């Protein structure tokens, strides 16, 4: 009888020398001709790694023992770090995080886009801890927390050192409130926001419930916290706000005398302090003079549009979400900027050259796209009638590099670029580039 071929067994652990670093904050090693991406490892380290998944050309793994640590390695500050998927770089010191992210950013620009900034400006840094003003948590019927680093389970957390202190301090109380509400209906999700004047807890429910547990929680919290809280119980039939007369959720741009209201569903930067600096640096980078016409693409609530208008530019903001366009328009009117700043809705992922011509020419563009980037917009740009200067705010170096290659092919160069350390302890890379024609 013919014997079957033996089935090779993939080794569960390997000893790897880490020689690189990737955009997901993983160490990179080569073993048996295959690239291994190792979470929890830093360049220069030798580690024992558990293989999680093996493909033909690459494998993913996690470091389970650091045999030779890098000098930059530090003990993680959060006891949940080993399991929680919220952070990826707590094992690296602050200076190392900055250096590694800048290396990844420049490598992506060169490898994918074939470009490099003519000048790499000093990075903009902010707080490394307690900077997050909003977050989304998961609930599994018993635990409140973030999704696990590997898998979809919920890692229960009692505090989070990247969250604003007022939000982190309430996590045990929020868990208790969720447990009380879950006796009546399913909890679909939990959102936290720290505005400039109110903290908002939104609990998304399958059905309406008795609001008394939330009312009791608010009464207790207001006896202890300096900034008021509001709890929003949201379900298909609507939202119950407790108390209903709490201050609106909003953030301020004090350098421009602006206050921008928003809702938990609106996109706003999680790092409010660094966002204020980003706005000022972006406007200075763009360099639009008084009276210049500026187009602000992916404008959201007017985070850049309204400061530009306050600086005497003539601004057209383009956004793809109707509700955001309505709120941005209301923000302009509330600040007396409606004559200098108007907004329009358009799907910028399907925009055409004809639409661009219909909006008219502007010598200055500002782009702040989501992680998917602005490929279509860059593709349909007519360089003969395009802007002289483009300030591009990016949260994804891969799509930024792709778009930079498109712009480079149309005669634009990256005059300058700089990182913004907006999301310390995570793999996210935020940057600001200036393209000139």
- The CA distances from residue 333 to 126, 197, 292, in Å, are 32, 21, 20
Provide the token pair at 359.
């909006």
Among 178, 341, 378, 395, the active-site one is 395
Give the whole-angstrom CA distance, residue 282 versus residue 392.
Answer: 8
| Helix spans in 110-230 (H) | 165-169, 171-181, 212-222
**Strands (E) located in 115-217:** 119-120, 124-125, 134-139, 144-147, 154-156, 187-194, 199-205
Look at residues 25, 18, 95, 40 and name the one whose alpha carbon lies nearest to residue 397: 25
Q: At what angle do helices 94-108 and 397-408 cross, to 10 degrees?
A: 40
Q: Which residues contact 106 (CB under 8 A, 6 or more apart)?
A: 116, 120
Length of the chain: 437
Which helix (H) or strand (E) segment holds residue 434: the answer is strand 430-436
Q: Is 297 annotated in some ligand binding site?
A: no
Q: Are 348 and 297 in contact (CB under 8 A)?
A: yes
Provide the token pair at 348.
């910028």
Is 299 an annotated catalytic residue?
Answer: no
Look at residues 101, 86, 211 and name the one whose alpha carbon lies nearest to residue 149: 86
Give ∠ CA 94-99-100 in degrees, rounded to 5.
Answer: 100
The neighbour count for residue 395, using CB atoms within 10 Å, is: 19
3 state DSSP class of 392: strand
Q: Is 266 annotated in some ligand binding site?
A: no
Residue 426, classified by CB atoms within 10 Å of its CB into exposed (0-12), middle (13-18) or buried (19+), is: middle
Q: Is 32 annotated in some ligand binding site?
A: no
Cα torsion 394, 395, 398, 402 to 10°: value is: -30
Q: Is 142 annotated in some ligand binding site?
A: no
Give the whole-angstrom CA distance, residue 422 versus residue 131.
Answer: 9
Binding residues for S-adenosyl-L-methionine: 269, 298, 319, 368
Active site residues: 395
Binding residues: 269, 298, 319, 368
């Amino acid at each position: 009888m013919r014997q079957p071929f033996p089935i090779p067994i993939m080794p569960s652990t390997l000893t790897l020398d880490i020689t690189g670093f990737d955009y997901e904050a993983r160490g990179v090693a080569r073993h048996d001709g295959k690239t291994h991406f190792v979470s929890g490892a830093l360049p220069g380290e030798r580690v024992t790694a558990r293989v999680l998944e093996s493909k033909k050309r690459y494998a993913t793994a996690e470091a389970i023992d650091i045999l030779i640590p890098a000098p930059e390695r530090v003990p993680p500050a959060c006891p949940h770090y080993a399991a929680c998927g919220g952070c990826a770089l707590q094992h690296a010191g602050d200076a190392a995080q900055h250096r590694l992210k800048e290396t990844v950013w420049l490598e992506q620009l060169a490898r994918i886009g074939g470009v490099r900034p003519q000048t790499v400006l000093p990075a903009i840094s902010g707080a490394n801890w307690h900077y997050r003003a909003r977050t989304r948590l998961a609930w599994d019927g018993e635990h409140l927390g973030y999704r696990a680093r590997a898998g979809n389970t919920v890692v229960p957390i009692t505090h989070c050192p990247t969250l604003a202190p007022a939000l982190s301090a309430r996590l045990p109380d929020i868990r208790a409130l969720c447990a009380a509400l879950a006796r009546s209906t399913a909890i679909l999700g939990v959102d936290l926001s720290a505005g400039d004047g109110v903290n908002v807890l939104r609990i998304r429910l399958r059905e309406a419930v008795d609001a008394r547990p939330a009312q009791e929680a608010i009464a207790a919290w207001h006896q202890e916290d300096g900034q008021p809280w509001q709890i929003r119980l949201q379900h298909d039939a609507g939202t119950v706000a407790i108390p209903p007369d709490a201050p609106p959720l909003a953030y301020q741009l004090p350098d421009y005398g602006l206050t921008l209201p928003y809702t938990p569903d609106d996109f706003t930067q999680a790092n409010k302090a660094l966002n204020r600096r980003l706005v000022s640096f972006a406007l200075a980078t763009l360099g639009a003079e008084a009276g210049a016409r500026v187009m602000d693409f992916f404008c959201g609530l007017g985070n850049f549009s309204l400061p530009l208008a306050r600086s005497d530019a003539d601004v057209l903001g383009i956004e793809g979400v109707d509700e955001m366009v309505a709120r941005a328009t209301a923000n302009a009117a509330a600040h007396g900027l409606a004559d200098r700043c108007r907004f329009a809705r358009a799907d910028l992922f399907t925009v055409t050259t004809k639409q661009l011509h219909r909006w008219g020419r502007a010598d200055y563009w500002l782009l702040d796209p989501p992680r998917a980037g602005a490929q279509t917009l860059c593709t349909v740009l007519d360089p003969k009638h395009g802007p002289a200067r483009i300030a591009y705010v990016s949260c994804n170096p891969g799509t930024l590099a792709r778009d930079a290659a498109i712009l480079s092919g149309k005669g634009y160069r990256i005059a300058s670029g700089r990182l913004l350390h907006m999301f310390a302890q995570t793999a996210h890379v935020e940057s600001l580039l200036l393209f000139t024609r």
